[in-house]
Amino acid sequence: MKTSIALTAVAALAAKASAACWSQKLGYPCCSSSSAQVWFTDNDGEWGVENGDWCGIPKAESCWSQPLGYPCCTSTSTAVYTDGDGAWGIENGDWCGINGNSSQGSTPNVGNDENPVIGSQYTHSGNPFKGHKFFINPYYTAEVDAAIAQMSNSSLIAKAKKMKEYSNAIWLDTIENMNNWLERNLKTALAEQNQTGKTVLTVFVVYDLPGRDCHALASNGELLANDSDAARYKTEYIDVIEEKLKTYISQPVVLIVEPDSLANMVTNLENTPACRDSEKYYLDGHAYLIKKLGVLKHVAMYLDIGHAFWLGWDDNREKAGKVYAKVISSGSPGQVRGFASNVANYTPWEDPTLSRGPDTEWNPCPDEKRYIEAMYKDFKSAGIKSVYFIDDTSRNGHKTDRTHPGEWCNQTGVGIGARPQANPISGMDYLDAFYWVKPLGESDGTSDTSAKRYDGYCGHATAMKPAPEAGQWFQKHFEQGLENANPPF
């Protein structure tokens, strides 16, 4: 210690703490920088001097998760998953390790079983959504908690808290996210299933085809339409999904397969070069995944069919029957349960104000109910054996302000629709479920015209602005969806 410091060790013991760090418990403030000059080192740590007083130099942050490639949690102590390594939280859209003791958040007693026992083979029989508890997506729960922290309206906060009670799909939209999310959520759902004695259904969206979203810009994927990336799709993505699903055989799983892809094959091959370039990879990718995943007894798959204002016209539905029949046949002996409609879209389930006419460009199926009724007949006529549907009702409870029913980007007037449920409509035995596939609050695409992934639809008059990139949290859109929920919270 320098003699110019007029502070002895005895006097320092009486100094007052002014900041929270390891030295506070000893009665000293924390130095303002972790790079402060070290004047003294003892068993407690490194000491500096500021404002004529000793201060504890902050220790470099480290935790058990860093060697595993994940940061330490800095703002949350809520564990949404626990395994043999420790308790995991979520910050900035990624897993983080929680040091010390952790408390369970909105999914209590779900992730405490570090090594859940995998039971005997589960086999789907009939409606895959029927008779199960729906798994609560921990990532979305964390997003909602962060959204609530930005709210001051007590009524809106109460509605937002309700959102955490309902299930939505987990999107495996990159190879990295698949590796991060698939097994962890399967394991957490299995632990809950073992603890409660009730089967727990987890719904995943398989979404990483080469040349993904060939007719849009906002949600283009990581893999390009070429042979090299097609090989990666198979070996690094589908094969890994297969491996994990083959491990966790005692629980029900539903896969929503590649939103928008086959619908693009029906309508956009002639007018969109990117779709022509992607065609063989879309078709080959579907054949591969159906062969691999469609033979698993505990897995039910639904191929995406766009929505009523995409394939609803007579000629589009007829062509769709041929395309989907061919794709399903190409994946034999794999089986497909059915089809997912309205994924990430806003088309109402029923809209009696719309009819076939100039306002709907003569679409005979101007709402989801009429669309699915028509598609059921057309797909049966096309020779497809298993024709069942689910409808995404996460954002179609309130008629939006779109000038044309085909508008799809961050629509104003959004409202949460019917809650997730099996067999929701009497007399429509082929409608397996209403389900929330697209999480409300996650943006459809950016409104920044200078952004690389800017899509013109996100700049339309009916699109809410300013909007962040696709998949990022959009607080204003989320809050409007709560306000317009139908049925209301």
What is the average pLDDT across 316-322? 97
Q: Are residues 81 and 146 in the same domain?
A: no
Read off the CATH number of the domain in which 177 is found.
Answer: 3.20.20.40
**Burial classification of residue 273, based on how many CB atoms lie within 10 Å of its CB (0-12 exposed, 13-18 middle, 19 or more buried):** exposed
Q: What CATH number does the domain containing 51 carry?
A: 3.90.1220.10
122 within domain boundaries: no
Is residue 372 domain-resident?
A: yes
Give a yes or no: residue 114 inside a domain: no
Is residue 86 located within the same domain as residue 143? no
pLDDT of residue 79: 73
pLDDT at residue 110 greater than cutoff 60: no
Share of the chain above pLDDT 90, in %: 68
Pairwise pLDDT comparison (140 vs 359), residue with the higher score:
140
Domain count across the chain? 3
Residue 359 lies in a domain: yes
Same-domain check for residues 406 and 278: yes
Q: How confident is the model at residue 11 (pLDDT cuts 50, 70, 90)?
A: very low
| Active site (catalytic) residues | 260, 444
Mean pLDDT across the stretch 308-332?
97
Q: What is the pLDDT, as a whole number, of residue 219?
A: 64
pLDDT band at residue 86, thresholds of 50, 70 and 90? confident
In a domain, 48, yes or no: yes
296 and 415 both lie in a single domain:
yes
CB 334 within 8 A of CB 242: no
Q: The tokens 């859109």 sit on which residue?
A: 477
What token pair was written down for 159? 């509605």
What's the rounded mean pLDDT across residues 375-390?
98
Q: What are the pLDDT digits (tens) for 247-280?
A: 999 999 999 999 999 999 999 999 999 999 999 9
Domain that holds residue 418: 133-484
Q: Per the annotation, does 438 bind a ligand?
A: yes
Question: Is 132 labeled as ligand-binding?
Answer: no
Count CA atoms within 13 Å of residue 292 on its CB side: 21
Q: What is the 3-state secondary structure (H, E, C) of 339-366?
A: EEECCCCCCCCCCCCCCCCHHHCCCCCC
169 and 82 in a common domain: no
Per-residue pLDDT band for 380 (boundaries 50, 70, 90) equals very high
**Spatial separation of the C-alpha atoms in residues 57 and 29, rounded to whole Å:** 9
**Tens of pLDDT, residues 385-425:** 999 999 999 999 998 877 777 788 999 999 999 999 999 99
Residue 310 assigned ligand-binding role: yes
- Kindly state the average pLDDT of the residues 31-40: 79
Beta bridge partners of 87: 82, 98
Per the prediction, the chain carries an average pLDDT of 88
Output the pTM of the full model.
Answer: 0.80
323 burial type by CB count under 10 A (0-12 exposed, 13-18 middle, 19+ buried): middle
Within a domain: 427 = yes
Question: Is 16 within a domain?
Answer: no
318 is in an annotated binding site: no
pLDDT at residue number 375: 98
Helix (H) or strand (E) holding 81: strand 81-82
- 171 marked as part of a ligand binding site: yes
Does residue 252 belong to any structural domain of this protein?
yes
**Cα–Cα distance for residue pair 25/44, rounded to 1 Å:** 11
Q: What is the pLDDT of residues 159-216, one digit of tens each?
A: 999 999 999 999 999 999 999 999 999 999 999 999 999 999 999 999 999 999 898 7
34 with 75, same domain: the answer is no
Same-domain check for residues 395 and 453: yes
pLDDT band at 108 (very low <50, low <70, confident <90, very high): very low
Q: Are residues 199 and 80 in the same domain?
A: no
For residues 138 and 90, membership in a common domain is answered with no
408: annotated binding-site residue?
yes
Measured distance CA(469)–CA(451) in Å, rounded? 9
